[in-house]
Structure 1
Amino acid sequence: MTPFGAPPKTYAYPGAASIGQAVLDRCTILKQPFVPTPWAVNGHAQSALGVLRTLTAKGSYTRQLVMADDGGTLALDWWAGADRPGYAAPDTPVAFFIHGINGGSHEGYIKWACIAAAARGWRAVVLNLRGCNGLDVSSPRGYNALQTHDVHVALSSVSRRFPAAPLFAVGYSLGSVLLAKFVAEADSGLHGPSPAVEGAARAAAEGKAGSKAHGGGGGGSAWGRLSGSGLVAVALVSAPVCLHCTNARLAAPSPDLLYNLAVAYKLREYVREHLTSLAAHGVELDPGALAAVGWTVGAFDDAITLKQLGYSDGEDYYRHACTTNYLPHIRTPTLLLVAQDDPFLGYLPAAEVCANPFLALAVARRGGHLGFLSGAWPLGVSYADAAVDDWLASALDLAAEPGARGASWEARAAALGWEPPPGESHTVGALTGARCNCLERTRPDVVAARAAAAAAPSAGGGRGAPAAAEDLRRWRLEDVLRRPPPPGTQRSVARWLALLGRGGKDAGAGAVAADGEAARVAVPSVTLEVPSPTLDRRPNSRL
């Protein structure tokens, strides 16, 4: 156990080929003691007090709306005018943040993360997921832990806008689950090359790769060659790496059950807010039935989430979303920062981290969920903010070492003697069929019952309901991740444009936002400008 007031205990791949350890060696914050605020010394106090940080974070955003391939609407909120070309040099690093469940850029932990990044001179931008923080649900799907194509679309927009900039990505809570899955998929080639990767390849082919310490020239940044995701480094804060284990912990009779009820309440409010929009896209939900179910996260997923994603039950959904599936496939330096007293921490992935040279795990004794508050006045920059930025900056410094630029992280590890474990399949197929073994670890009785049910012949002599449900689940997964938009996409796009009340013009998918009073909205073959000076789209918006 980590002693009180000591630095977080760190884990990394042993040996000279460990990229994660090489980055840790350059960090200073993670080597310093984390002393929690004296009057917030347990996980519950840290978690609750962290919510109040939104009251002390001062600043504003400029919103950029982006449409996903299926018509879903996302928002990129740029902190303090960071979207303007004149904000900083074109090769200034960009920190990209993803919020937690039902959150958004208005959350205190997100605002202070932006403040900390801006203090380093970086650009900061926040991805608001579908239906969150004032966004409409403009497609049949809301957000979930599997919809990584949304991350790809958002990061592609950022990369096109600042092609010479090194990109960082940070996920919080559920956002870390989504980000870890995306990075593993992108590093495996599932999402195709990002604009950063394409630009780097184009620049290398033309012999014009930049030579500056923080950027490139000739149409692409050398940073894009570091990984398939186009990211220089990643951080996952308060990551519930095993959703099944987290759900089981929160469902047990204990004070942690209160967190379960609170999150489920927010999920029900999300659905109530978007009932009309969902109904317009053929998703019929009974408001009365909604009030009678979903008092816990598991019950909500069984009643609502599974209908949208085509899973046979919640356990299958959790197993597919489990971050432990994807940690072995990450090839980008990634830090997992967690606290031992986090009520959402159901499983500590030390073994998975120590088996991958691109990962590092830092475990603090205190910190709660999205807390990590220290000092007599804890409502400012947190230990996590400082530690994450230190990790990102250290990875950037390592990437810029003389003689190392131009080589991918994977090539660097291989040059130092690393080889993937025998039998490991770092492929798209391995990812789309990924299943964690958390259910086998915790509920062997459920596994045995399912095996017996799957072996029993169906009444009609066909493939049976479990097989049919699996087919539907796989089709919907591939539809989101790889296939072209379904036939209804044009209708969704037209409805989305009508909601904005604007006409469009053909400007190409690569157009960037205009400077000044308008935010750019990018959709396939359509570019719009909509006024967004304050972003106050609803009365209680705290953007």
Structure 2
Amino acid sequence: MASNTKRDSTTLIEQLIRSPSKYQKEFGSHLKQAFQTHHLQIYGSVVCLFLILMAHGGIINRVHYFEPRNPIKFVGNDGKNSFTLKELIGKKIPTLRDQAMCLLNPFLFTGDLQTMYAGVRTFHSRDQLYFGRQILRMRDGGSAALDQVISSEKFRSAKPESCDIPEGQKKLYLGKSTRYFTKKELLEQDGQQSKRPIVLALHGLSGSSAEPYCRCLMNPLFNKEHFDCFVLNARGCGGVDITTPSLFCALWTEDVRETVKVLRQRYPGRPIFAVGFSMGSIILTNYLAQEGDKSGIDFAVTLACIWDLRASSNRLESHFLSGNLYSPRMTKNLLELIANQKDELSLSREFKKSYSKENIRKMDRLSHFDDSFTSKMFGFRCADEYYCYASPIIRMNNIRTPLLNINSEDDPVAGGFDVGALPVKRASFNPYITMITTTHGGHLGWFKPNNVRWYTEPVSQLMAELYREVYNCSAGTIQVDKHSLPADIPISEGKLVMKTFKS
């Protein structure tokens, strides 16, 4: 009986393919009869599948808030009222409260799916921003690009042909949404008397100001909260031609240091906020720890921070999907970057020694790249040694800037509690550091059902509230119990000195 039914169904499907108009009514009646006969089983299966996804996947995202044991207090503009960051969030930003929940995209129900979606989507039509670029020449002769968000009218007010190409740069056209500032525009910036707050963003590995995870936050900060928004493009990234045989690494903070000085000199008296994404968050936290209470930054946010590079690297390359997808993809991006800058980088003895067709061909892991290039070019003997010294976790005690860190517990790149990559307990001893973890979100994903990133609204709102409540006049200060401060940890290497190893 069962075999006859199967044969009849197969014959019907074949007939439907050959002549759909003739048999579509008959096929529809069979389908309707099947639903009527087995509707309880079908609906029950759908409900069970949904419950399984809810229980084991990332449909419902939950926030976990880890407040320091004796948190700093912000003193309001009136000089009288004081409050902790948790109190401000509880009053103004419900999305970031402990145990707050939100619905994520049901089709992206794992950290891997969230991460992969973040990697393949460019979101060109969303969060469209325009940038004016200034090339910053650093003390060692290196070049980085400081991109500032500008209005579309200002962007179109000067054609690329009228913009002078800075020394050491070869590209006139930087894309449809980025152009160089003219000399006149740069002079006008120095004379600005605006009181608008400033936010400086640091992008992820081999990224730029064009990254969707960056634009989605700059958009509301610029258009809604009226911040002046800047993105520091690392050496060799975002179309920047390098001018010394050196790139960047997680411990190289000199470019951030000099950029903050430029902003402080150009816009005196204005509050400066900072936000780091992935690799940018490592550099930012290392910078804050190195500078202590002289960072020049009033408030910082790090997203998908990789606190322990050794633990995260082991997690990244030991799992099947991340080891065969994310790590090779990131390595390929870096190999393309150094290929574009090969002529200048070849002036480095260490680079020239490692850059060979045979070595490049078999390089399919991020640790392999760091072993051959990053570590050697910055004076380390191997990737493991570089990871040890560059991990922000070893200098968390030294941070003296209010810092909010947000990580996803299912982040396949940074790692979660399972590999000890989220140091929430250690952070609790530093009154300046607040840690937030979310149950789901992947690596810089956090996509909601409408594919808008979850962190965009609460982080921009938080920065705006801090500016309105604390930093929009000189009366805003911070109170801290000095007896609760952890002892500074002496870091033997101090600030990293660029070693170009010229041949």
TM-score by length of 2: 0.71
Q: 2:440 aligns with which of 352, 366, 369?
A: 366
Question: Using the alignment, how far apart are the partners of 2:422 and 2:135 within structure 1?
Answer: 36
Aligned to 1:132: 237
Aligned to 1:181: 286
CA offsets, 1:67-105, max 9 Å, x none? 111111000111125997699961101111000000001
Question: Using the alignment, how far apart are the partners of 2:133 and 2:259 within structure 1?
Answer: 13
Q: 2:497 aligns with which of 470, 479, 484?
A: 479
Output the amino acid matched with 1:431.
I
Aligned to 2:462: 391
Provide the aligned C-alpha RMSD in A: 3.0
Question: Using the alignment, how far apart are the partners of 1:401 and 1:315 within structure 2?
Answer: 44
Task: Report matched runs for 1:385-464 at 5 Å.
Answer: 385-397=456-468, 399-400=470-471, 405=475, 407=477, 409=478, 412-414=479-481, 418-421=483-486, 424-425=487-488, 430-433=490-493
1:352 is displaced (CA, Å) by 1.9
Aligned to 2:84: 22
Task: Report matched runs for 1:34-183 at 5 Å.
Answer: 34-51=102-119, 52-55=121-124, 56-81=126-151, 90-118=194-222, 119-183=224-288
1:50 is displaced (CA, Å) by 2.4
Question: Using the alignment, how far apart are the partners of 1:268 and 1:23 within structure 2?
Answer: 42
CA offsets, 1:38-93, max 9 Å, x none? 22222122122224243223121100110111111000111125997699961101
Task: Report matched runs for 1:235-274 at 5 Å.
Answer: 235-257=301-323, 258-274=325-341
CA offsets, 1:370-402, max 9 Å, x none? 111113x21x4x221222223323443553599
1:18–1:315 CA distance, 2 compared to 1 (3 A)? farther
Q: What residue ranges of structure 2 are gaps of 5+ in the alignment? A: 1-54, 75-81, 155-180, 416-420
Aligned to 2:294: 228
Output the amino acid matched with 1:109.
Y
1:255 is displaced (CA, Å) by 1.2
Question: 3-state DSSP class of the match of 1:479?
Answer: coil
Question: Using the alignment, how far apart are the partners of 2:298 and 2:341 within structure 1?
Answer: 36
1:244 is displaced (CA, Å) by 0.4
CA offsets, 1:192-219, max 9 Å, x none? xxxxxxxxxxxxxxxxxxxxxxxxxxxx
For the 8 Å contact 1:9–1:363, the answer to whether it is kept is yes
1:69–1:278 CA distance, 2 compared to 1 (3 A)? same
For the 8 Å contact 2:440–2:446, the answer to whether it is kept is yes
Q: 1:332 aligns with which of 401, 414, 419?
A: 401
Question: Using the alignment, how far apart are the partners of 1:159 and 1:166 within structure 2?
Answer: 9
1:60–1:272 CA distance, 2 compared to 1 (3 A)? same
Question: Using the alignment, how far apart are the partners of 2:272 and 2:148 within structure 1?
Answer: 14
1:286 is displaced (CA, Å) by 3.1
Question: Using the alignment, how far apart are the partners of 1:425 and 1:158 within structure 2?
Answer: 28
Output the amino acid matched with 1:384.
Y
1:331–1:123 CA distance, 2 compared to 1 (3 A)? same
CA offsets, 1:442-496, max 9 Å, x none? xxxxxxxxxxxxxxxxxxxxxxxxxxxxxxxx8xx5534xxxx9999xxxxxxxx
Aligned to 2:172: none
For the 8 Å contact 1:244–1:315, the answer to whether it is kept is yes
1:111–1:400 CA distance, 2 compared to 1 (3 A)? closer
Output the amino acid matched with 1:273.
N
Verify: 1:10 aligned to 2:65, yes or no: yes
Question: 3-state DSSP class of the match of 2:132?
Answer: strand
1:302–1:54 CA distance, 2 compared to 1 (3 A)? same
For the 8 Å contact 1:293–1:303, the answer to whether it is kept is no
Task: Report matched runs for 1:189-228 at 5 Å.
Answer: 227-228=293-294
Task: Choose 1 or 2 for highest CA Rg.
Answer: 2
Question: Using the alignment, how far apart are the partners of 1:137 and 1:303 within structure 2?
Answer: 19
1:419 is displaced (CA, Å) by 3.0
Question: Using the alignment, how far apart are the partners of 1:77 and 1:325 within structure 2?
Answer: 31
Q: Percent identity?
A: 22
Question: 3-state DSSP class of the match of 1:370?
Answer: coil
For the 8 Å contact 1:23–1:391, the answer to whether it is kept is no
For the 8 Å contact 1:67–1:74, the answer to whether it is kept is yes
1:150–1:17 CA distance, 2 compared to 1 (3 A)? closer
For the 8 Å contact 2:118–2:445, the answer to whether it is kept is yes
1:260 is displaced (CA, Å) by 1.1
- Name the structure where helix makes up a greater proportion of residues: 2
Question: 3-state DSSP class of the match of 1:250?
Answer: helix
TM-score by length of 1: 0.66
How many residue pairs match? The answer is: 389
1:418 is displaced (CA, Å) by 3.9
Question: Using the alignment, how far apart are the partners of 1:340 and 1:487 within structure 2?
Answer: 40
1:349–1:108 CA distance, 2 compared to 1 (3 A)? same
1:274–1:369 CA distance, 2 compared to 1 (3 A)? same
